[in-house]
Structure 1
């Protein structure tokens, strides 16, 4: 399974959300869509996606990030980063608002902009939750409603307008007060360790030589979980008895052996798909962790 849910997977899970008059973009323009939150589920599990989300949450609940959570007790704007797993648990029956999902390609199309990962709202470690006042809620709601109307229009340049509305939405949210009071779990180490193992496993199996492993180091996982790498290392060691690096190396070696035995990919293709810059680095890694070479495994079927 891929490390991230993509836009197509999102619509498979929610077929009633699938665009009808607006097809998925496959021409390099990216993708955008806007929805009302009145059909949101009672709880959404930890997940990583290939799209960003900006949500106006009207209703109470909790948002969970790694070993911390924040109480949503009034209308809030949430900026969801595809590289940071989070979950949502509702508390009030009444849930409303809107959300916009979009890919980075949509924002960057026809624009010279830096990665959203460098923005103050979407970069890893940034505060993703803001609490607008009543006037800001009205303004943000109005922007979402205009975006929905534009999505349904036949205007040739509507994506340019939607891109402008999205920028305006982001700037309006920036005017709101950021969330300040995050709470921590008493069993934070257990939660962080569990999320690490989940993220590690979700990268496998690798089903295409064109795929490149995204999370390869403890720092990669720490950034994705929005925790300090030292905290991640301590938590994983405390709960599992093994270091973060040991878990990563063992899982990559296991996947490498499976690919050598069950695919016809070249050693170079396997090396690149597992994130190694050079096949020679992969060979040294494999020998160190298995005691044999890639070619020996492939030819002897051991």
Structure 2
């Protein structure tokens, strides 16, 4: 017997910032959508299985998702979806880390998972066979949630873990075997701290950390040690990560708000709009005003 499936629009699932009515929910989606979702952090983890064409803006990445895929989002990382096709079908589930940990005796941290970690790749493209496997697990979650079984959330937690492990199985071995070196720990702390500065919600909210030195001081490490660790792990300097993240935020603010260029400059930590104009043009090849009109 088919479960009573709750079907919501794509926008509903992605626009929601807080997880209401418990630590878990799952939905099937079969709707048309035409509007982008807001670029914000949510207070939950989310796994999405879908068919359709969209662009995922996740931290400083812009990823075209043009074939069946699983995506994994982290509550520390802001993201938004920009529709390309008008049709999106699939499933999503939202849950807290406690929902998983209370059922996982090993207390595996989702923050350590290659699928959810900051700086990781949030998209796992699927073959038709892999899509069918993941779809079956989502359907089982929906059926179980609709049941009266007293331990149904233990069963659902197992299904969520199965999806996570199926996706990990698709990852290259080098990605799954995460190093526990001090360099990785420092880099992860830096990336997490960097993401916590964003998104900027108001022109009056200026970035508190602007330079590699600011981040090093906050992390209580020498700036040279931070730079060495970040470059060793990511191949890029600390300042490059900061610069790229500021540019990504600047583009979003120019495109999606009615703030003045001066307001955007101040909110991103520039003392003078002219400094911001020069910085933006050097990094993108266009002026902020031109980017705002695109």
Where 1:122 maps in the other structure, the secondary structure is coil
The CA deviation at 1:67 is 3.8
Once the two structures are superposed, residues 95-141 of structure 1 have per-residue CA deviations (whole angstroms, 9 ceiling, x without a partner) of 10101100111011143413211112111111111111111111110
Query: Pairwise mapping of residues 36-55 of structure 1 onto structure 2 (< 5 A)?
Result: 36-39=28-31, 41=33, 42-55=35-48
2:78 is matched with which residue? 85
Q: In structure 2, how many angstroms separate the alpha carbons of the residues matched to 1:234 and 1:123?
A: 20
Query: Pairwise mapping of residues 72-221 of structure 1 onto structure 2 (< 5 A)?
Result: 72-112=65-105, 113-176=107-170, 199-201=199-201, 218=215
Once the two structures are superposed, residues 136-166 of structure 1 have per-residue CA deviations (whole angstroms, 9 ceiling, x without a partner) of 1111101000000000001000010000000
1:34 is matched with which residue? 26
Q: Which runs of 5+ in 2 are unaligned?
A: 1-11, 173-194, 219-229, 251-264, 272-294
Q: In structure 1, how many angstroms separate the alpha carbons of the residues matched to 2:143 and 2:209?
A: 39
1:71 is matched with which residue? 64
- Decide which structure has the larger Cα Rg and report it: 1
Q: In structure 1, how many angstroms separate the alpha carbons of the residues matched to 2:27 and 2:198?
A: 29
Matched, 1:60 2:53: yes
CA root-mean-square deviation: 4.1
Where 1:174 maps in the other structure, the secondary structure is helix
Contact 1:218 1:229 in 2 (8 A): no
From the superposition, tell whether residues 151 and 114 of structure 1 become closer, same or farther in structure 2 (CA, over 3 Å).
Answer: same
Bigger RCO (CA 8 Å, 6+ sep): 1
Q: Which runs of 5+ in 1 are unaligned?
A: 1-9, 26-30, 179-194, 206-213, 247-302
What is the number of equivalent residue pairs in this alignment?
198
Q: In structure 2, how many angstroms separate the alpha carbons of the residues matched to 1:115 and 1:67?
A: 23
When normalised by structure 1's length, the TM-score is 0.54
Greater shift, 137-146 or 115-124, is seen at 115-124
Once the two structures are superposed, residues 185-242 of structure 1 have per-residue CA deviations (whole angstroms, 9 ceiling, x without a partner) of xxxxxxxxxx98753547x99xxxxxxxx9996479xx9xx99641254468898489
When normalised by structure 2's length, the TM-score is 0.56
1:230 is matched with which residue? 239
